[in-house]
Amino acid sequence: MAKQSRNGKGRADLDAFRVQSTGTDLTTNQGVPIADNQNSLRAGERGPTLLEDFILREKITHFDHERIPERVVHARGAGAHGYFTVSESLEKFTRAKFLCDPSLRTPVFVRFSTVGGSRGSADTVRDVRGFATKFYTPEGNFDIVGNNMPVFFIQDAIKFPDFVHAVKPEPHHEMPQASSAHDSFWDFVSLTPESTHMVMWLMSDRAIPRSYATMEGFGVHTYRWINADGESTFVKYHWKPVRGMSSLVWDEAQKLAGKDADFNRRDLWESIEAGNFPEFELGVQLFDDAQADAFDFDVLDPTKLIPEELVPVQLVGKMVLDRNPDNFFAETEQVAFCVSHVVPGVDFSNDPLLQGRIFSYLDTQLSRLGGPNFHQIPINRPVCPFRNGQQDGFHQMEIRVGKTAYDPNSVDGGLPKEKPVEDGGFASYLEQLRGDKRRVRAGSFKDHFSQATLFWNSQTDVEKEHIASAFGFELAKVERVEIRERVLGRLANVDADLTARVAAQIGLAAPKASKVDGPLRRRNGKPAQRIESSPALSIIANAGEGSAKGRKVAILVADGVDGPAVAAMKAALKKAGVTGLVLADHLGTVASTDGEPVAVDHTIVTMPSIAFDAVYVPGGVDSARALAASGDAVHYVAEAYKHVKPIAAAADGADLLRQAGIVRAGQTGSDAGNGVFVGTPAKIGAAFTRALAAHRVWTRTDQIAVPA
């Protein structure tokens, strides 16, 4: 008979099933004591991971099956269809057909995502963003499964479950959702010095992108390209947004999480529907073994990037996302990306994190999508024929015709049969391996701080302030003082000024740097070339390279507005690919000075300034007076100003800006250096659009004086 629970309500007693998650010895699920839980079993310290590593496989297999049916990580995403074209043949480096034929238009499906949160979390949380691309090539599907940051938290796949468990909600109370601002995450990274570089990226504006169309993407790992002669070239993948990079500010990100949790996915959908298609150029860093050996870091280390000053990024093709999915579940939710999806001419390196992902991703899909036939789901099907002896299984959707399901056979004429390498069959790179079979971390992976310092040095003053503030915000939510102290100890090895800024925010003394392993000395005994700063790592330093396409402008109106000015500004914005939406205190229409009613798209209270990239206030004496008397309208423009967005107004409309403290009394003209433009659409339209392309006015220095 079941025992009564302590609360006397008849629940069966679960004490027999309660176990402590801690203990003396770390073991496998079979009770085998684990001597090394930090490194996978590999052939030589820089060699590939071995399939016989039962500890790695048990750990990752369990991790891969922890969530059903939601993805364990990258659960919340948005997808889009498009196409890719290569600019010129890359046959010198690879025999992949889709990279060697400029006339070929390769279909793609891209899924953007957050990493840590559940499907119900918000888009704008501070997090890494997934950037996964599936190419439907003539030789099979090829997936670049990457992120919007070029490095990662860990060096070895055996640590991936630990990292994700640490950043996920804490298991005893399932909080906080989609946030790294809690004890378990900072406990893990403070005890894992290899995470320091990635944490710098996570605390930067890269972790709160303005839109999926304005963030970079990276393949993270070093891969190999193989040409027709069997020659190998190392390659790193980059996606460069044609619109340029832009991010939210932290205050916006927090408010959007509450006011529009779907902000990024909505922006992607609406941008494509409006014909403002997101575009990305594919960039590659190509280098050989000799170059790799000259770097002061190991190219197999996924916590390291290759500065563009050492290996420039070559732009080799363009991807355009021009169609939204027809069904979210059938496409965006069921799409299955696997690092192991490669085509002839593409191969792997011995990066130990990559080696584990090759196994893990396929294993995950077996659980998520119900069995081994997930490749038959329409969104996952190759566009080229596929045939082999695999049969039956859950969700078999094909009626196989034939008498054999094995190879070799003579009954079906020996078909299908192997395709020789010289005719296009896949072949792995011929690599000589040598080394002891053991669990080990390569000595060339030991420098954990030099590139974290490089990232810090590469930021503008504004970005440095954001990074320091982000550390302060997150660590202020960490309850255990010893964890905060350990994090400061890690930061002390990055930069003394950063450490002092963060320490001041959390009320602790700034420690001094400890003795750490520095950059590698290469095998020739000479120190490699050092890069102290890389402008490519800064968003703001590259802001001038973008366009205004895809931006949104709020046009604030009331009865008596200058209707022709509204129409003229909307037309000027549309020409630049910008959407202008009319906002008033009510839906319907407002009266215009020319007698033609102006249609209202949204109300001011339902579409806040944080949902737009700029604000325009047209003329009309009555409209200007009504807006200046509206607390909602005053707050609207003041908040946009605080978030350093461009502000434009007609002469009459400037009354609202004066009421908000943005325009000084008596000021009648523009203050372009401060991102404020006053005048007719014909006079200010071009300058306003240029400011939109830059996204924010970081030179604005008087935001604090404006109440919002």
| Whole-number pLDDT of residue 387 | 81
Instruction: Between 634 and 530, name the one with better pLDDT.
Output: 634
- pLDDT exceeds 70 at position 221: yes
In a 3-state reduction of DSSP, which class is residue 661?
coil
Digit-coded pLDDT (tens) for 606-630: 999 999 999 999 999 999 999 999 9
CA distances to 102, 108, 137, 511, 611 from 105, rounded to whole Å, are 8, 9, 9, 56, 35
| Whole-number pLDDT of residue 5 | 39
Chain centre distance of CA 219 = 11
What pLDDT band is residue 27 in, cutting at 50, 70 and 90?
A: confident
Percent of the chain with pLDDT over 70: 94
The arithmetic mean of pLDDT across residues 669-684, rounded, is 87
The arithmetic mean of pLDDT across residues 689-701, rounded, is 90
The one-letter code for the residue type at 442 is A
- pLDDT exceeds 80 at position 14: no
Axis crossing angle, helix 563-575 with helix 681-694, rounded to the nearest 10: 40
Judge if the upstream peptide bond of residue 681 is cis by omega within 30 degrees of 0. no
Percent of the chain with pLDDT over 90: 77
- pLDDT exceeds 90 at position 80: yes
With the C-alpha atoms ordered 346, 347, 352, 354, is the resulting torsion angle positive or negative?
A: positive
Measure the N-to-C terminal CA separation of the chain; round to a whole number of Å: 64
Instruction: Between 519 and 550, name the one with better pLDDT.
Output: 550
Digit-coded pLDDT (tens) for 492-511: 999 999 999 999 999 999 99
Considering the segment(s) 445-535 as one domain, its CATH architecture is Up-down Bundle (1.20)
Which of 39, 81, 141, 147 is flagged as catalytic? 147
- pLDDT exceeds 70 at position 21: no
399/422 Cα distance (integer angstroms): 32
Strands (E), 503-613: 552-556, 579-584, 588-590, 598-600, 602-603
Alpha-carbon torsion angle 261, 264, 267, 269, nearest 10: -90
Picking from 315, 158, 178, the residue whose alpha carbon sits closest to that of residue 258 is 178
> What letter would DSSP give residue 329?
I
The arithmetic mean of pLDDT across residues 164-189, rounded, is 96
| Whole-number pLDDT of residue 121 | 97
| Whole-number pLDDT of residue 570 | 95
| Whole-number pLDDT of residue 693 | 92
| Whole-number pLDDT of residue 528 | 63
Q: Does the active-site annotation cover 375? A: no
What pLDDT band is residue 526 in, cutting at 50, 70 and 90?
A: low
Digit-coded pLDDT (tens) for 287-342: 999 999 999 999 999 999 999 999 999 999 999 999 999 999 999 999 999 999 99
Digit-coded pLDDT (tens) for 55-68: 898 888 878 877 65
| Whole-number pLDDT of residue 18 | 58
> What letter would DSSP give residue 190?
H
User: Lowest-confidence range among 73-82, 331-340, 378-387, 468-477?
Assistant: 378-387
- pLDDT exceeds 60 at position 51: yes
Chain centre distance of CA 601 = 31
Q: Does the active-site annotation cover 147? A: yes
| Whole-number pLDDT of residue 2 | 40
Taking residue 85's Cβ as centre, other Cβ atoms within 10 Å add up to: 16
| Whole-number pLDDT of residue 11 | 43
Angle at 157 between CA 152 and CA 163, to 5 degrees: 60
598/591 Cα distance (integer angstroms): 6
Angle at 459 between CA 457 and CA 461, to 5 degrees: 105
Axis crossing angle, helix 183-190 with helix 481-492, rounded to the nearest 10: 40
Taking residue 80's Cβ as centre, other Cβ atoms within 10 Å add up to: 25
| Whole-number pLDDT of residue 3 | 40
Strand partners, 234: 224, 287
Q: Which strand ranges, in their side-by-side order, compose the sheet holding 552-556?
A: 602-603, 579-584, 552-556, 614-617, 647-649, 676-678
Same fold, 41-218+241-282+318-380 and 445-535: no
The arithmetic mean of pLDDT across residues 470-488, rounded, is 98
- When the pLDDT of each residue in the chain is averaged and rounded to a whole number, the result is 92
Instruction: Between 632 and 27, name the one with better pLDDT.
Output: 632
The arithmetic mean of pLDDT across residues 15-35, rounded, is 71
458/384 Cα distance (integer angstroms): 45
- pLDDT exceeds 60 at position 641: yes
| Whole-number pLDDT of residue 492 | 97
| Whole-number pLDDT of residue 173 | 94
Superfamily of domain 41-218+241-282+318-380: Catalase core domain (2.40.180.10)
Digit-coded pLDDT (tens) for 528-570: 667 899 999 999 998 766 789 999 999 999 999 999 999 999 9
The arithmetic mean of pLDDT across residues 262-275, rounded, is 97
Q: Which residues of 406-430 are buried (b: 16+ CB within 10 A; e: fewer)?
A: eeebeeeeeebeeeeeeeeeeeeee
> Which distant-in-sequence residues (6+ apart) come within 8 Å of 66 by Cβ?
72
> Which distant-in-sequence residues (6+ apart) come within 8 Å of 213 by Cβ?
241, 243, 267, 268, 271, 278, 279, 321, 550
Instruction: Between 464 and 392, name the one with better pLDDT.
Output: 464
The arithmetic mean of pLDDT across residues 77-105, rounded, is 97
Which of 74, 238, 341, 466 is flagged as catalytic? 74
The arithmetic mean of pLDDT across residues 162-185, rounded, is 96
What pLDDT band is residue 22 in, cutting at 50, 70 and 90?
A: low
Q: Where are the domains of the chain?
A: 41-218+241-282+318-380, 445-535, 548-705
Instruction: Between 411 and 205, name the one with better pLDDT.
Output: 205
Query: CATH assignment of 548-705, given 3.30.572.10, 3.20.20.10, 3.40.50.880, 3.10.180.10?
Result: 3.40.50.880
| Whole-number pLDDT of residue 33 | 78
